[in-house]
Amino acid sequence: MMTWSQVHARRLLRHGLTAPHANAVEVVAAMAGTHAQVMSAAELAIALRMKEATRADVRAALWEDRDLVKTYGPRGTVHLLPARDLDMWVGALSALPPGRDPMPPEVRMTPEQTEQVLVAIGDALADAELTADELTEEIVARTGPWAGDPVMEAFQGKWPRWRQATALAAFRGVLCFGPTRDRKVTYTNPRRHIPGFRPLDGTEALARLVPAYLHAYGPSTPQRFAHWLNAPVTWAREVFASLGDALEPVEVEGASAWVAAGDAEMPEEPPRGVLLLPYFDGYAYRVGNVPPEAMYPGRAAERVLPANFQYLVVDGVVAGLWHQRRSGRRIAVTVEPLVPLTAAYRAALDEQVERVATVLEGRAGLTIGEVTTGGHA
């Protein structure tokens, strides 16, 4: 029988947090995608998992080498994914059962309109990198004025109707992010940068995605897999059942779970050390598998769990939170531990702070005290 302590140690190892990976692609593949709603947090999460890397190395892998793709991934949120695996991701995400439409009836598009928009997006981006406004003009020209109606509630004003299909366009493989232009987001077609790109059949893609998920987050269950993808639990159970001998049942402290067949090995040593995980990194660490009660012991359950904070992790579990503020090249880091830090742990924390500053190409300053800012939205 496995323990949650072993699972924590395996997760830290697999994710490159206790043994670095060779490059950004290996990091992102090992994490089964890196959350990139906040790009600076994604850059930090990836570079921390490589030896002597900085955010510039991550940017090069994404925008120069095109080894990574910025697109919509699990839960319809922005992720970085390996370009080499985009055929799997698009095939799997496009095979997800459609969920409940959150849009009011007067905002929704008909199925026919949705398909028109998807075709228009793929065509408009086939040889271009367009801002949202430029893409709106192209879509309206190809479909009709209805696609550009400003009916969607947005952060500042209203978005055009077509934008409710943005994530779906990524799931269909006709849209991904391009480089920022004049501080504006751009979109493009992944086929421009991935020669021969062709999404896998949904069944084949899921047969690859589930083992990749279990390698990163296992042992896990269909319920947690469904949560990770924001998909129905019944559907996830059917997917797991369809894989048969490709999956192997295990027990973690009496609870049934699954790993990929032949991948039940666990580290012999318990998790040790101090880590600073950036925004969304700790969330991915939790949402992929670990039950909250196993990851947020003691005061962490009430101080850290309710909001999206940056995590201080000690010996594999959440033991505090942290925040950084940049002023020029100086990066002021505030760490709020929720457990006593021994001299050894304090020294390890100093090293982590220096590593964060190196990744962010700045100079570090550390304060031990209360984090007064709220969690990230």
3-state secondary structure 263-277: CCCCCCCCCCCEEEE
* Beta bridge partners of residue 258, listed in sequence order: 220, 249
Q: Using CA atoms, how far apart are residues 362 and 45, in angstroms rounded to an integer?
A: 16
Distance from CA of residue 356 to its chain's centroid? Answer: 19
Q: Report residue 198: phi and psi, to 5°.
A: -150, 115
pLDDT for residue 285 = 63
Query: 258 to each of 92, 104, 111, 236, 282, how far by Cα in Å?
Result: 19, 39, 37, 13, 22
Q: Give residues with Cβ within 8 angstroms of 206, minimum separation 6.
A: 91, 92, 95, 239, 242
pLDDT in tens, the chain (377 residues): 899 899 989 999 999 999 999 999 999 999 999 999 999 999 999 999 999 999 999 999 999 999 999 999 999 999 999 999 999 999 999 999 988 888 899 999 999 999 999 999 999 999 999 999 999 999 999 999 999 999 998 877 899 999 999 999 999 999 999 999 999 999 999 999 998 999 999 999 999 999 999 999 999 999 999 999 999 999 999 999 999 999 999 999 999 999 999 999 999 899 999 999 999 886 666 665 667 788 899 999 999 988 889 999 999 999 999 999 999 999 999 999 999 999 999 999 999 999 999 999 999 999 999 999 888 75
Q: Report residue 265: phi and psi, to 5°.
A: -65, 140
Residue 30: how many other CB atoms lie within 10 Å: 19
| Among 256, 236, 258, CA closest to 245 | 258
pLDDT for residue 377 = 58
Query: 105 to each of 100, 108, 109, 113, how far by Cα in Å?
Result: 12, 5, 9, 14
Residue bearing tokens 């906040």: 38
Q: Which residues of 328-338 are buried (b: 16+ CB within 10 A; e: fewer)?
A: eeebbbbbbbb
pLDDT for residue 69 = 98
Q: Using CA atoms, how far apart are residues 48 and 54, in angstroms rounded to an integer?
A: 8
Q: Using CA atoms, how far apart are residues 314 and 272, in angstroms rounded to an integer?
A: 7
pLDDT for residue 154 = 83
pLDDT for residue 273 = 92
DSSP structure string for 174-243? S-EEEEEETTEEEEE-GGGTSTT--PPPHHHHHHHHHHHHHHHH-SB-HHHHHHHHT--HHHHHHHHHHT
Q: What pairing do the DSSP bridges indicate for beta strands 247-252 and 255-260? A: antiparallel
The answer to whether 59 and 43 are in contact (CB under 8 A) is yes
